[in-house]
Structure 1
């Protein structure tokens, strides 16, 4: 499941309003109703609307070399605006790009519109390429329409600063780290040990309450929605327990209080303001982009509590696009095993194509960014241990509301009880 606080780096950095305007203008020019398909050798410009950097730049070049008649134009917008635009364009029956991305926290909201997208099951695609937890959210309720092709998955792990652990007398070996922090209470207990023993009293245990909450609640069997599609935030004790667990850690001084996916968060990486981060596979960009100024080293271990998924996306082809046949071929190629494997090895985006998880070049992949940790093994195991949660149309906004509430606790604007109460009011407004 994706508990969608605004994501950054390659998977959700908020863009300026000017970029949003460019998206709106370009998207409107690329839609306007389905036209006759071009001849195989006709010149075609395919537009791709994304909400972040999916790492496709080099793949576009390769595809254009393989298909000299195709030119690809990519547009990006803020995650929320991107999905709002897509909803509006589907309603209008025009204005969509040829290929539109949908984030996993948003995809349930498009299930009622499954018929407005190309059905990949009628275009040479088998659901067997992905695990059911990946295909079900991007399928019609009866399973007869697959309107989204899985890109990456957000298999989770724990990233930690081995040098800061050593200075505080904590184990640095990743297997020993995983054994010490088998679940979230033991993880926070280790945080108290770290704060008591660390020679640098400016370093906190984790980066932000909202970020940690996203990881903790993602492991619950049921999150914000039940299997019937009902919002169960107030009825599901796992949500409140996750919130209280994180709020308690904030009170104990374990959070650096730097809101995730902001410039201050980047600075937190660079200035070594926190020792651990709950990190899905796609977050590796942040570590590459913001190396510690003190030369410290990151490592990676199993996530406390076992498996889990935070994030991941889909590529869709709206029927209102100009070049649906050519767009479908591009979407299938971008999500094919060869391309997904390349994106993992080059960008760190863990593939949702399940056949890749056992291939030697993926399962045995190591990453020098994390002290040559076996990231392929770690993320593969996390994906296998995943117990998928039911998703709902407003899951992303609900996650944001709860993350904002924890930020208010970190900033001293509210205590945990008041923040929870405000979050419930915000959620009521979101779901109507």
Structure 2
């Protein structure tokens, strides 16, 4: 399955038009620097080098920050009217919030709509039909695990055996974890942290934090409470390494083999490779308990406050074009948000040496094809953080599960005010 000639020509027209344009910040005609503000590793390092080689007049400077810091800073810069990057990365959890501020972003037009997963395109579309961002990737779920640690603990470690052992759902996953814990290598917990486990479980629910009328339903949605209760059960079974996702301690946890499994949307493979370089071949990828689900996926947007808007549009269009999305997947693991790529042999048949030759192309494209997206409201990212903080209080022994649940629901409800 290949992109239609019409779609490819339309994209070329977008890039060419943007590249030929001038803006108020490029008046001298001299070299310009484009700032790309991201959270984590989007897999663009090699792409930047290629783009700069093909565009000698452009230099690219990437600046990265922690997930929550990045999105908080972006909101601050938008409110102040200055300080944002020429291109800004936005996570799925924050795209609705930024969509409501669509007047502060450049309208990228509708030319590329036919390329994208329908739900991915619509998620960054404003109510008045303006497209504020290009999708970069989607986060279909799997489970990454340390096969060497499994083997040392005397539990099944071959990919098919592992998938079968917990394929029946999250209760089976916890049962597997309790067996692992009996003979786990010293210093190794079964999974990284309650917040990350919760994200995977709730990512499989048809309804998460919001109803489609933007009403927060955390306190009334039984799926949220079920995901919370399962995460609490896992914590109370001493299966958690008690690490907060994206923290420095969490990063160090990979290298120190402090956990044996991690809920693994496609983009997580990049983080694993970045933080556990000495564990190549020791990691593997199995099916996620319960099957399917989504966690994350990102976008590139262009704030209107930038001084090089036309050049930024050209770069954003190029970074998210089909060939570049395909390259990022094979180099880093971020799954494209352009479904025509899923049947290309280099994607569908791709295997990762780092992950013990796991058929990650097959695993993640199958997950993406089956994905039924969950509606994301304006404060979804903040709600995710609030729930994580509630689980951290339990992990740290600061609150009982029920007291933490009550505080979490109250904290979430205040976000709506």
Q: TM-score, normalised by structure 2?
A: 0.87
**Secondary structure in 1 aligned to 2:342?**
helix
| 1:232 shift after superposition | 0.6
Out of 41, 49, 52, which is 2:40 matched to?
52
Say which SS state the counterpart of residue 393 (structure 1) adopts: coil
**SS at the partner of 1:401?**
helix
Tell me which residue corresponds to 2:387.
402
Give CA deviations for 1:77-135 in whole Å, capped at 9, x if unaligned: 3433433343344345444432222111111011222233222225xx32122112211
Return 5+ residue gaps in structure 2 as ranges.
Answer: 1-21
Instruction: Quickly say closer, same or farther: Cα 1:342–1:195, change in 2 above 3 A.
Output: same
Which of 112, 116, 122 is 2:104 aligned to?
116
Match of 2:89 in 1: 101
Q: Does 1:371 align with 2:359?
A: no
Distance 2:60 2:257 in 1: 40
Matched, 1:128 2:114: yes
> Which 10-residue stretch deviates more, 407-416 or 110-119?
110-119
Retained in 1: the 8 A contact 2:149–2:184? no
Q: How far does residue 335 in structure 1 lie from its aligned partner after superposition?
A: 0.3
- 2:93 is paired with a residue whose SS is coil
Three-state SS of the structure 1 residue aligned to 2:119 is helix
Q: Aligned match of 1:166 in 115, 128, 151?
A: 151
Residue 414 of structure 1 deviates from its aligned partner by 1.5
Please show how residues 139-288 of structure 1 align to structure 2 within 5 Å: 139-142=125-128, 144-182=129-167, 183-196=169-182, 198=183, 200=185, 202-288=187-273
Find out whether 1:344 has 2:329 as its counterpart.
yes
TM superposition shift of 1:225: 0.8
CA shift in 2, pair 1:217/1:41, >3 Å: same
Task: Tell me the residue number matched to 1:307.
Answer: 292
Residue in 2 aligned with 1:65?
53
Counterpart CA distance in 2 for 1:389 and 1:156 is 13
* Gap change, CA 1:266 and 1:75, over 3 Å in 2: closer
Gaps of 5+ in 1: 1-33
The number of aligned residues is 395
User: Structure 1 residue 138 and structure 2 residue 94: aligned?
Assistant: no
CA RMSD of aligned residues (A): 2.5
Structure 1 residues 189, 65: closer, same or farther in 2, change over 3 A? same
For residues 199 and 50 of structure 1, the distance between their equivalents in structure 2, rounded to whole angstroms, comes to 36
The 8 Å contact of residues 39 and 65 in structure 2, kept in 1 or not, is answered as yes
Using the alignment, how far apart are the partners of 2:229 and 2:392 within structure 1? Answer: 13
1:322-333 superposed matches below 5 A = 322-333=307-318
* Inter-partner Cα distance in structure 2 for 1:64 and 1:191: 48
**Contact 2:281-2:356 at 8 Å conserved across structures:** no
